[in-house]
Chains A and B, each alone.
Chain A
C-alpha cells in the first residue's frame, strides 16, 4: 500500500490557506438580493397580528413574507425523520403563524436589495404578541398544571421509551453487595461551527428549477426534505449544493426553516436570495445538543463486578422535534449504556420533554457522549465507594478480547475490541503509578491534582438499513459512490458523503489510488452537489470512512473487474490469468505481456475492440450497506490541578489512546482526535447553553458562552491500538466523535478525583471555577484517603 496508512498531507489545504475556499456566503449570483429574518423575542406567545406596511415602504425592500404568506404558498411543516411508537409530533412551521414556542423562531422574512436594508426593514415589522406562560425546565414542564406547548402532546411529554430487561435488573439489585447511585445532568451545548449557517436560494422561472446553495453535511437529505416534504415539488426540480462547509458537528445535518423560506422568496421574486446567519442567530436557531437529567444506579458484587444498571433519563427536546432528534436520547444513548463492560442486566427508561427552548438534535457524538459520561462517572464513584483503584475496577469489568462479537443486553453486537490493551497503553503513557504517588505527596503540601480515566466506546457507521428501519429511521443508512474513469485513465470519484473539514478529498484519494495503483494526483474526489453525486446520506456519526469509503471500494472493484475483462480480451488470455499490479494488468509469469490502466481506459471509450456484447465506457456505481455498526474504543486520561482558593482547574496532561481499526491517514486521525478532545473538554469545563425560567437564552453570544481557547488547553499526547473491524472491506472504524465522547468524563473524573479530599462526590458540568469555589467554600480538606 503506497498511500493507505500514510500521513499524507491534505489536498484541500492549498485553497483554504490562500483564502480561495468557497463557502456559501462567498457566493454571488447575478441579481442577488438579501434576506433578514424577524424572530420571536418571546419563548411562548400568541401572534395576534403581523404588520408589514412600514417594512414594505423601507428603502430597497422587495418583499416581506409572513406565516400567512407561506401557508398560502402551500408550504408544509418541517419533517421528523425518526419515529418512536409513542412519539408526539407537533407541527413545526417554517414561519410561525399563530404561536411561537421558542426565542428566535422565525415570524417573518424580509427581502431587500442589500443586507443592511433587509436588516433595517426587519426592525420595522410590527408583531403583536400576546405573551403566554413559558417553561424551560424539564421538571417544571412535567409538573401538573405546567403551561403546555402543544395540544397534541399532553403534559409536554414527547415520548416515553425503554430498553433492556427491567425484571432482570431488579433481580441483579436484589443480590447486590453494594448499590451506587448518582444523579447527574448532561448540560445543553451549542455546536458552534465557526462558519455560521448560510443559504443562497435561486429559482429559474423558465424551467421551474430551484437551486439551494447551503451549509449542509448531507445535500441529498436537504433536497429530499425541502422538495418532497416541505415545498411539495418534485425532487428533480431542486438542486442542493453544499460548497466548502466550515464545520458542522451535527448542526448542519438538518433542514432548517430559513432554507425553505428563502426558496419561497426566490420563487416569488424571481431573483436569487441570500442569507448568512449572524452568530446570535446561530445561538438561537441551530439545533442544540445534549440536555439530559438522569438518575442512575449500579449494582455490584463484593469483588466489584457490575451486576446491573438502572437508568432513568429526562431528555429535553426543546420546543419542537428536529429531524433526527427522537433517535438521539433513545437508540443512540440507551444502546451504549453497557460501555466497555460486561453488564448482565441493564434497563433504561427515557422521557422526552417539550420545553420553550430551541430544539435539540445530534451534536458531535449524539447520545454516545451522554451514555459514556454516565457510565464512566458511575465507574469512578463506584471505585471510590469500594475503595478500589478506578483503573482496576474497569479492568475487572471489561468485556474480554475473546468475547467478540459481543451482544450487550441493550440491543447491540459489538464488532471487535481489545479494551485492556488500550487501557494498558494509556496508563503506561501517562505514567499512572508514579502519578498516583505524586498525587499523594502533593496533597500533603496542600496541592490537589486529579487523575481521570474514561474508557469509551462509540457506535458509528450506523447500519444496516433494514435494522435502523425497524428501530424507526425513516431513511436508509447506506452510502453510495460513483467511480468514473476518463479516457486518459484519470479518475473522478463522486461520493454521497460530505466533507466539512475531515479531509475526505485526501483520505478517499488515498484509498482509490492504492486500489488502482495510480498516483494520488490522478484521483479527484467530488462531493456536495446533488446534480453531480449519486444519492447519498452525507456525513454524520463518523460514517464517512466505514460506510462512505467502503462504497468507494466496491465501485472501484466493479471498475477493475470490467477493466480486467477488457485487458484479457486485448491480451487474448482469460481474465483469471491476469494479475493487477502498479496500475498494470500483466499475464501471470509473462512479464512483458501487459496493459496499463490508461491503455484500458482509452480502449473502453474508443470501443473499437471490446469483448463481444460489452458496453463501452469505464465507470461504476456502488451502494454499500454494512452488516453492522462499527465500535471504536479507547482510553483517555486527564490530569488536572484544582486550585481551592479560586476553584480554577488547570489541565496538566491529556493522554488519548484510540482504536479506530486501520487508519487510512494517521494525520487526519490525529486532527480528529485533538479537535474532538477539545470539544469534550469544552463540555467538561466551559460550555453551557443557559435559559432563564422564561425561556430566554442567556448565553446568546461568545460574550456569554465560553468556548475552549488555545491558552487554556494542554498539548494532547496520543497513541493508537489497531483492532480492525470485520464489517467493512477496509477494517476501519470512525474516529470523528471519539475524542468528544471520551474527554468529558475523563476531565470530569479528574476534577472529582482532585476534590476527593474535600469530601465532594459529584458536581455537574461544566466545572467552572465559580461552581468549584462555591462547593469548596465551607469545606476543609479531610485526611487524605
Chain B
C-alpha cells in the first residue's frame, strides 16, 4: 500500500514518518512513536480513551487519520507534565478519580481541554463535557471532583 510522508510535532518533538493513508492517529502514536499512554477502548468513537489534543483541541485520535495531523501539533498524556504531575493529574490522585487507569489518559486530556476553554466550570458543565468519555470504574464522581480541584489549583497558581 502507498505511504504518505507526514510531519507532526508531538509533545514538543518534531517527527517525520511515512504512513499508510488509512493509519489512524492513535495507531501512529502508539505503534510508530511508542506513546502507549493513549488507549483504544472501542471501535465507534464513543469511549474517549484515545483523547489527545490536536492543535489545542480535544480529538478522539481513533477518528483522525495520521495524515490529517500533518503539519499540526499533538499533545498526549505523556507530554502533559515533565517534572512531577500537572495539577489535573494531581487532582485525579487527590480525589481518587481513577481506578484501573485505562480511561484515565483520555479523561485527563479531556479535562485539560475543558479547563483551557472554561477555567472555572460548574459540576454540571464538567459532567456535560465528559459525555464523550466512558469510565466503568469510578462512577465519574472522583473525576468530577478531581477536575474541580484542578480548576481551583490552576486558578490559584495563575493568580500567584
Verify that A and B bind, or say they do not.
yes
* Assembly CA distance A245 to B43 (angstroms): 19
Residues of A90-121 whose CB lies within 8 A of B: 116
Task: Report the nearest B residue to A672, measured CB to CB.
Answer: B99
- State which of A14, A25, A667 has its C-beta within 8 Å of the C-beta of B40: A25
Q: Are A18 and B100 in contact (CB under 8 A)?
A: no
Q: How far is the CB of B10 from chain A (nearest CB, A)?
A: 12
Q: Which residues of chain B are near A245, meaning CB under 8 Å?
A: 100
Q: Are B100 and A194 in contact (CB under 8 A)?
A: yes
**Which of B53-61, B66-74, B101-109, B152-160 sits within the interface?**
B101-109
Q: How far is the CB of A31 from chain B (nearest CB, A)?
A: 15
Q: Knowing A17-B108, A19-B37, A279-B43 touch, does A677 contact B100 (C-beta < 8 A)?
A: no
* Assembly CA distance A679 to B140 (angstroms): 11
Q: Which residues of chain A are near B101, meaning CB under 8 Å?
A: 12-13, 15-17, 21, 244, 246, 501
Q: Are B77 and A19 in contact (CB under 8 A)?
A: yes
The range of chain A's interface size is 35 or more
Task: Report the nearest A residue to B126, measured CB to CB.
Answer: A710
Q: Are B94 and A709 in contact (CB under 8 A)?
A: no
Interface string of A654-692 (1 = CB under 8 A from B): 000000000000011011001111110000000000000
A703 at interface, CB cutoff 8 A: yes
Task: Report the nearest B residue to A677, measured CB to CB.
Answer: B139
A166 at interface, CB cutoff 8 A: no
Q: Are A679 and B98 in contact (CB under 8 A)?
A: no
Q: Are A501 and B46 in contact (CB under 8 A)?
A: no
Task: Report the nearest B residue to A670, measured CB to CB.
Answer: B96
Identify whether the interface residues of A are mostly helix, strand, loop, or mixed.
Answer: loop
Q: Are B78 and A194 in contact (CB under 8 A)?
A: no
- State which of A17, A21, A249, A713 has its C-beta within 8 Å of the C-beta of B127: A713
A653 at interface, CB cutoff 8 A: no
Q: Which residues of chain A are near B96, meaning CB under 8 Å?
A: 9-10, 667-668, 670-671
Task: Report the nearest B residue to A281, measured CB to CB.
Answer: B43
Q: Are B77 and A501 in contact (CB under 8 A)?
A: no
Q: Are A246 and B139 in contact (CB under 8 A)?
A: no
Q: How far is the CB of A465 from chain B (nearest CB, A)?
A: 29
Q: Are A9 and B46 in contact (CB under 8 A)?
A: no
Interface string of A369-386 (1 = CB under 8 A from B): 000000000000000000
B17 at interface, CB cutoff 8 A: no
Residue of A13, A19, A23, A713 with highest tally of chain B CB at under 10 A: A19
A417 at interface, CB cutoff 8 A: no
Q: How far is the CB of B160 from chain A (nearest CB, A)?
A: 23
B113 at interface, CB cutoff 8 A: no
Q: Which residues of chain B are near A707, meaning CB under 8 Å?
A: 46, 134, 136
Q: Are A710 and B127 in contact (CB under 8 A)?
A: yes
Q: Are A276 and B102 in contact (CB under 8 A)?
A: no
* Assembly CA distance A667 to B144 (angstroms): 15
The total of interchain contacts (Cβ-Cβ below 8 angstroms) comes to: 177
* Assembly CA distance A26 to B30 (angstroms): 8
* Assembly CA distance A16 to B102 (angstroms): 8
B85 at interface, CB cutoff 8 A: yes
Q: What is the size, in residues, of chain B's interface with A at 8 Å between Cβ atoms?
A: 56
Q: Are B47 and A501 in contact (CB under 8 A)?
A: no
Task: Report the nearest A residue to B142, measured CB to CB.
Answer: A671
* Assembly CA distance A25 to B80 (angstroms): 22
Q: Are A710 and B144 in contact (CB under 8 A)?
A: yes
Q: Are B42 and A279 in contact (CB under 8 A)?
A: yes
A715 at interface, CB cutoff 8 A: yes
* Assembly CA distance A600 to B105 (angstroms): 43
Q: Are A716 and B128 in contact (CB under 8 A)?
A: no
Q: Are A19 and B102 in contact (CB under 8 A)?
A: no
* Assembly CA distance A254 to B98 (angstroms): 25
Q: Which residues of chain B are near A247, meaning CB under 8 Å?
A: 99-100, 102, 136-137
Q: Which residues of chain A are near B93, meaning CB under 8 Å?
A: 9-10, 13-14, 17
* Assembly CA distance A668 to B139 (angstroms): 13
B138 at interface, CB cutoff 8 A: yes
Q: Which residues of chain A are near B20, meaning CB under 8 Å?
A: 116
Residues of B36-56 whose CB lies within 8 A of A: 36-44, 46-47, 49
B115 at interface, CB cutoff 8 A: no
* Assembly CA distance A707 to B101 (angstroms): 18
B122 at interface, CB cutoff 8 A: no
Q: Are A702 and B105 in contact (CB under 8 A)?
A: no
Q: Are B143 and A710 in contact (CB under 8 A)?
A: yes
Q: Are A702 and B46 in contact (CB under 8 A)?
A: yes
A608 at interface, CB cutoff 8 A: no
- State which of B36, B46, B138 has its C-beta within 8 Å of the C-beta of A671: B138
A196 at interface, CB cutoff 8 A: yes
Q: How far is the CB of A149 from chain B (nearest CB, A)?
A: 29
A609 at interface, CB cutoff 8 A: no
Q: How far is the CB of A259 from chain B (nearest CB, A)?
A: 19
Q: Are B128 and A674 in contact (CB under 8 A)?
A: no
Q: Are A503 and B35 in contact (CB under 8 A)?
A: no
Q: Are A709 and B130 in contact (CB under 8 A)?
A: yes
In the complex, 15 of the A-B residue pairs with CB atoms within 8 angstroms, ordered by the A residue number, are A13-B101, A18-B77, A192-B136, A194-B136, A196-B40, A246-B100, A246-B103, A247-B102, A501-B137, A671-B96, A703-B46, A707-B136, A710-B140, A710-B143, A711-B127
| Minimum-distance CB pairs A-B, first 4 | A19-B37, A246-B102, A16-B101, A501-B100
Interface residues of A (CB under 8 A from B): 9-10, 12-23, 25-26, 28, 116, 192-196, 244-247, 249, 276, 278-280, 500-503, 667-668, 670-671, 674-679, 701-703, 707-711, 713, 715-716, 739
Taking A17-B104, A18-B37, A18-B77 as known contacts, 8 extra A-B pairs with beta carbons closer than 8 A to each other, sorted by chain A number, are A116-B22, A194-B49, A677-B139, A707-B134, A710-B128, A710-B144, A713-B140, A716-B141
